[in-house]
Chain A
Amino acid sequence: MAGIMRERFVGVTTELLDVHENLALVTADLTAGLFRSARESHPDRVVNLGIREQLLVSVAGGLSLAGMRPIAHSFAPFLVERPFEQIKIDLNHQDVGAILVSAGASYDMASSGRSHQSPGDVALLATLPDWTIHVPGHPDEAEAQLREAATGDGLVYVRLSNQSNSEPYGLDSGQGFRVLRRGTQATVIAVGPVADAVLQATEQLDVTVLYAATIRPFDAGGLRAVVRDQAAPSVVLVEPYLSGTSTAEVADALVDRPHRILSLGVGKEELRNYGSPRQHAIAHGLGPAGLRLRISSFLSS
C-alpha cells in the first residue's frame, strides 16, 4: 500500500535516527503510523504534528535553527505546494538546511484525483536557490540519497514514487548524468522512474540515453561533454513531472551553440481522470509508445 520506495524511506530513516543523534523526523499524520517504532525509540526526535502542513515546514526550519537535522515528510502536494512560502521563508531565507521527502509524485495516487497529484513540485522548488533535488528511479537510489542527505547540512528534496525502474541506474554515478546508451542523432535525458520506458522507446533509435536521479543541480557539464563533438545537438528531455521543468537548464548548458530541445513530461492541463498511474503515463504521452512516437517525429523533423 505504502509503495516500495516509501517503505524503504521508513526503514532507512528509522535506522538513521538510531545512528545520528541530531536527526529529527517530522510528519503531518501521513505515514506517521509507519514510524511508530522510531517514535517509541526517539520520542523527542520523531514528531507527528497532526494535519498541519504549514507547521510541518516551519518546524523543520525551527529544528534546524536549534542545531538539528530535520526530515519533513508528506505527500508532495502537501509538502511543497501548500506550504511553499514556508519553504521559501522558513528554510531558504533563514539560511538553514532541511530534508524534504515527498511521496505520491505526479500521479501515484491517480485514483485519488487532482488534489493528491503534484506534477509541479520540482518546478516550484527549482525557483529557489540551493536545493538539491533528487528524483530516484529505484528504492536503492532513494536509500543512498537519504543516507547522504542525513549526514549533510544543505537543502535536499527527495521525491519518492511508486514508479520504479528495473535497475538502480543512478547508483554509484554521483549526482551527474550516467550514460545508459550511446548514439549519434540525439541525446535523450531520462529523469528518475521514466528510464525504463525511455530505454524501451528508444531501442531501435540511434540516440544517446542519459540517466539522472538528481536533477538539481543540473549536470550542465555532463551534458556538454556528451554533445561536445556535435555541431547542432538535439536534446530530448523526459521528466516524470511537469513538462519543460528543466528546459531552461538544457538551454543554458548549450547557450553557446545552436541546438534543439524536445521537452516531454506531465502536461499542465488537468486530465480530470482517475484510474491508474499507467493510464496517466499513457495519457501524458509518457508510455513507451507515446515516447517513441514523439522522439522519432522530433528526430525526423
Chain B
Amino acid sequence: MQENQTRERVVDSAPYGFDDLAGLMSRMTGDEKHSEAATSTMDALWVLYDRVLNVDSSLREDRDRFYLSKGHGPQAFYAVLCAKGFFAPELFDMFGAFRSPLGYHPDRALVPGVEISSGSLGHGLPLAVGTALGLRARGLDGSRLWVMLGDGEFDEGSNHEAVAYAARAGLDRLNAVVIDNHSATQGWPGGLESRFAAEGWATRRVDGRDHDALERAFTAPHPGRPALVVADVGAPGDR
C-alpha cells in the first residue's frame, strides 16, 4: 500500500529531481557552494519527500507531517518543497527579503508545506510529541510524523523531555531524524542514539548521503515505539 502510494507520487511530482536541488538552492545563495548547514540535510530531506512521506500540496488532514526542527540553513528544505510542487521557484529570488515568505528560518504561516516555524533549537521534537498525541486522539491512524534535528541541537534539554516521554507513551507514528555532522560541542560519547535507545526508541545509524540506506531506515517497521534514524554526514572536515 505504502509502496504504491510512493510510486504514484514520483510519477505525478514536479519535473525536478535530486540533481536539480543544487541549482534551485543557488537561486537563494547566488553560487553553487553552500553552507554545511544547508547541504547536510539535503539527502535525507530528498529521500523523505521523494520516497517516504505521504504528503503533497493538498495538505490533506491524514497526510504525513514533516517538522524541520533544525531550522537553520533551510535552503535545502525550501529547494525540496519547491521541487515537490509546494511553491514556485520564483520565490527563491527574494530569499531573506522583507516581503519574502522565505527567510533564514522557516515560518509555517508564510511558506506552503512548512508544518512548523523553527529557528530556536529544541522545539520540533516536543511539538511533534503533541501532534502525535493529537493524531492518535483523533483516530488519524494513517498519519506519521518525521522530525529532523541536528546532533548539536540535541544539547537542548527540551529534547530530552520529549525523548523520554515519547517512548513511554508508545508513540510509534513518531520518527526522529538526526543529521549528525558531529558538531555538538561536548559530543555524545557512545553516539546520541544511545540516549534514545535507553528510553526505548528503535534506533538506526546510516550513511546520511546514501539514499537507499536512508529509505530502508526510514521505512523499517518499529511497532509500539518511536524510531530514530541518525543520518551520519561526517564532520565538516571529513568532506
Q: Which residues of A line the B interface, CB within 8 A?
A: 22, 24, 26, 44-45, 47, 49-50, 52, 54-55, 58-68, 70, 85-86, 89-90, 93-95
| Listed A/B pairs (17) with beta-carbon separation below 8 Å | A26-B130, A44-B136, A52-B165, A55-B158, A55-B162, A58-B126, A59-B126, A59-B133, A61-B127, A62-B128, A65-B127, A65-B130, A66-B134, A66-B140, A89-B123, A90-B123, A94-B127
- CA of A258 to CA of B136 in the docked complex: distance in angstroms? 57
Contact, CB under 8 Å: A44 / B137: yes
What is the CB-to-nearest-CB distance from A98 to chain B, in angstroms, rounded to a whole number?
10
Q: Which of B115, B120, B132, B161 has the most CB of A within 10 A?
A: B161
Interface residues in B140-181 (C-beta closer than 8 Å to A):
140, 157-158, 161-162, 164-165, 169
A58 touches B162 (CB 8 A): yes
Q: Which residues of A contact B161 (CB under 8 A)?
A: 49, 52, 54-55
Asked if B117 CB lies within 8 Å of chain A CBs, one says yes
By Cβ-Cβ distance, the 5 closest A-B pairs, closest first, are: A62-B130, A66-B134, A58-B126, A59-B130, A52-B161
Residues of B within 8 A of A45 (CB): 137
Q: Say yes or no: is B197 at the interface (Cβ < 8 Å to chain A).
A: no
Residues of A close to B61: CB separation below 8 A: 67
A50 and B165 form a contact (CB under 8 A): yes
Q: Does B116 contact A (CB under 8 A)?
A: yes
Contact A58 B136 (CB under 8 A): no
Do the beta carbons of B131 and A62 come within 8 Å of each other? Answer: yes
Residues in A with CB closer than 8 Å to B116 are: 65, 94
Q: How far is the CA of A70 from the CA of B129 in the complex (A)?
A: 13
Does B38 count as interface, using CB distance less than 8 angstroms?
no
Return chain A residues, CB-CB under 8 Å to B7.
none
Residues of A within 8 A of B59 (CB): none
Complex contacts, B164 vs chain A, CB 8 Å: 50, 52
Chain A hits for B131, CB < 8 A: 62-63, 65-66
Q: Which residue of chain A has its CB nearest to the CB of B130?
A: A62
- Given A44-B133, A44-B136, A65-B116, A95:B109 Cβ within 8 A: yes
Q: By CB atoms of chain A within 10 A, which of B116, B127, B129 has the most?
A: B127
Query: Complex: how many Å from CA A44 to CA B134?
Result: 8
CB–CB A55/B126 < 8 A: yes
Chain A residues with CB under 8 A of B107 = 93
Contact check: which of B109, B129, B157 meets A62 at CB < 8 Å? B129
CB-based contact A54/B126 at 8 Å? yes
B108 within 8 A of A: yes
In the complex, which residues of chain B have a beta carbon less than 8 angstroms from the beta carbon of A58? 123, 126-127, 129-130, 158, 162
Chain B residues whose C-beta falls within 8 Å of the C-beta of A61 in the assembled complex: 127, 130
Q: B199 → chain A, closest Cβ, in Å?
A: 12
In Å, the complex CA distance between A58 and B130 comes to 7
- Cβ contacts under 8 Å, A86 to chain B: 123, 126, 158
Interface check B135, CB cutoff 8 A = yes
What CA separation (Å) do A26 and B161 show in the bound complex? 14
For B1-23 the 0/1 string (1 means CB < 8 A from A) is 00000000000000000000000
- Chain A residues closer than 8 Å to B129, beta-carbon distance: 55, 58-59, 62
Residues on B with C-beta less than 8 A from A64 are 130, 134
Q: Which residue of A lies closest to B107 (CB)?
A: A93
B138 close to chain A: CB less than 8 A: yes
Q: Which of B90-138 contact A (CB under 8 A)?
A: 107-109, 115-117, 120, 123, 126-138
